[in-house]
Chain A
């Protein structure tokens, strides 16, 4: 395996050097568009232009900036890990918001310093890492972090962190008493750890505290989650009632009525999938939908869930089982095909599909504009990395003149031997 890092900044600002050092003990590690003078001897520089010829079959790709996601995915890496570090520039923060679903879905592991994004990703595909040591010693955190990123016992490492986070919040809960946020997080971690009773007890505690604080929206922000917990435990009648209680606006009321009808007709798997989906538990919803009947309605829900989960190829396969019945369906399929081609690095194929979609609906031309904006953004990022590289070269020359330079200049490949 070879590791390729798609950075958000030059090496001196890279936030996880010890992780890379650990990976480099076993594999060659390359830093895309890095300034060689900046890099330690065990880390190689790799120009982005060389990526198109990349042929390593089992690459570990580490992506730290949204602009790189498509380029990294185009390598068809054996494992793709996306990092959303906490401190980002404003442009990056906006991008992460826009690209979050896409990034968390494409990645084999999505690592975030934001707990809400981490939880969102965990609910999407259960493969998320929180970039914080909460509940773990530094050594233990580093060990599990490495396992999760490198893909060695990753599922166990992810579960261990989730368990540690639950214990962390239990400790805080002992100090704070019932708390709208702490108790809710305990409930969420209980749900992710398949502990339904624990999760429901803390959810009700969080809700009661939110009520006592006069939170006017706590039916939606807290109580609704009870429907996910009950649905996960197959208590579907109670789950649908819990959702119904929280369904205040017209859209939610409509969803509630649809779920009631599904349940009345014995379509439990589909009702369960809907209940989990309205609670953003996409992974749970997909699992439930897989057990649903073969109806067109079930297929449509599965396709939507696959799109929510970012499993685009599977969604396209499902949507293509029958010819599109309307212009909007045809447009959606073309947009999806275009997006998949873009991810495979087939720019012309992507534009061609987007243009076809735009013939059906002019608004679809926005996909081309987005693509252009992403390419321009990537160019800006690379320019900033290059500027750093050039200034680094100048610094290196300066250090050579003063004798302030290390003698170890081996390449990562050398280091492997």
Chain B
């Protein structure tokens, strides 16, 4: 009698689950992000970190959101717990691949088009993208000493491997999107880009964020104080964003 064994790497028909943690995202980029993810992913999993607006309702309105975990009190100060919860919820959908997205991240069209090809293969287990910090709108990104994520790669797409170590470091802030063990797997670094819209808002919004960071991390324990100060720079170096075919 033959009992099929699930192969750890499959080259076709892979299921992609997108995973998001959100908090008070209504009225910003959430709908745009959910629209995009609904087009590319098979299922969506969301952990709502005790939003005080209608973020949960917005998420619920998307049919592909198959899990919505609503926390009664925020876990923002214990980020590893939030990450672990999201991971478990996403893993419960029996995915082949997981795409970790923040509610202000928009993949360029090229990346969306290539997504199936990126996951239907058995040569690598994660994919790195280049993140651009869009500044003062969606036409330019910032490029200087403190704002250069686009020169590196961020691993946001991984093959889900049941049984593989998935512990997160027990840190309150700056916890990686995926369990660190996934970084030991073979990966692919692409030139595919993501627009990070978190800094695309106006001056007042930046000022609010500046004060929040300074309040949460006055000693620069989790991030760079110089970068916090650079948020308020009046004439940062901006480069135009050009769409690629």
Contact with B along A238-267 (1 / 0, CB 8 A): 101110110010000100110010011110
A248 to B187, CA, bound (A): 11
A257 to B184, CA, bound (A): 22
Contact with A along B1-25 (1 / 0, CB 8 A): 1111111110000000000000000
A211 to B122, CA, bound (A): 22
A212 within 8 A of B: yes
- Between A and B, 20 residue pairs with Cβ closer than 8 Å are A207-B181, A207-B184, A208-B167, A208-B180, A208-B181, A211-B180, A211-B181, A211-B184, A219-B185, A240-B5, A241-B6, A241-B8, A241-B162, A244-B9, A245-B161, A260-B5, A260-B7, A264-B3, A265-B2, A266-B1
A129 within 8 A of B: no
Complex partner residue of A244 from B2, B8, B167, B181, CB under 8 angstroms: B8
Contacts A207-B165, A216-B184 aside, 16 further interface pairs with beta carbons under 8 A come to: A204-B165, A207-B184, A208-B165, A208-B180, A211-B180, A219-B184, A223-B184, A244-B7, A244-B8, A244-B9, A245-B185, A253-B122, A256-B8, A263-B3, A264-B4, A264-B5
Inter-chain contact count A-B, CB under 8 Å?
52
Closest A residue by C-beta to B123:
A248
Query: How far apart are A196's CB and chain B's nearest CB, in angstroms?
Result: 15
Query: How far apart are A212's CB and chain B's nearest CB, in angstroms?
Result: 7
- Evaluate whether A263 and B5 lie within 8 angstroms (CB atoms) in the complex, with A208-B165, A241-B163 already known: yes
A237 to B122, CA, bound (A): 20
Provide the residues of chain A in CB contact with B1, threshold 8 Å: 266
Provide the residues of chain A in CB contact with B117, threshold 8 Å: none
Provide the residues of chain A in CB contact with B72, threshold 8 Å: none
Complex partner residue of A245 from B4, B164, B180, CB under 8 angstroms: B164
Provide the residues of chain B in CB contact with A215, threshold 8 Å: 184
A223 to B181, CA, bound (A): 10
B224 within 8 A of A: no
Chain A residues within 8 Å of B, Cβ to Cβ: 204, 207-208, 210-212, 215-216, 218-219, 223, 237-238, 240-242, 244-245, 248, 253, 256-257, 260, 263-266
Provide the residues of chain B in CB contact with A223, threshold 8 Å: 184
**How many B residues have CB within 8 A of the partner chain?**
22
A359 to B186, CA, bound (A): 46
Provide the residues of chain B in CB contact with A212, threshold 8 Å: 180
Provide the residues of chain A in CB contact with B9, threshold 8 Å: 244
User: Which of A204, A211, A215, A216 has the largest count of B CB atoms less than 10 A from its CB?
Assistant: A211
User: Which of A238, A245, A248, A264 has the largest count of B CB atoms less than 10 A from its CB?
Assistant: A245
B237 within 8 A of A: no
A223 to B8, CA, bound (A): 15
Provide the residues of chain B in CB contact with A211, threshold 8 Å: 180-181, 183-184
Provide the residues of chain B in CB contact with A248, threshold 8 Å: 186
Query: How far apart are B4's CB and chain A's nearest CB, in angstroms?
Result: 6
Complex partner residue of B3 from A207, A241, A242, A266, CB under 8 angstroms: A266
Provide the residues of chain B in CB contact with A207, threshold 8 Å: 165, 181, 184
Contact: B165 with A238, CB < 8 Å? no
Contact: B8 with A218, CB < 8 Å? no
Complex partner residue of A218 from B161, B163, B167, B184, CB under 8 angstroms: B184
Closest B residue by C-beta to A244:
B8
Closest B residue by C-beta to A211:
B184
A170 to B1, CA, bound (A): 45
A214 to B4, CA, bound (A): 35
Provide the residues of chain A in CB contact with B164, threshold 8 Å: 245
Closest B residue by C-beta to A222:
B184
Provide the residues of chain A in CB contact with B185, threshold 8 Å: 219, 245
User: Which of A212, A238, A257 has the largest count of B CB atoms less than 10 A from its CB?
Assistant: A212
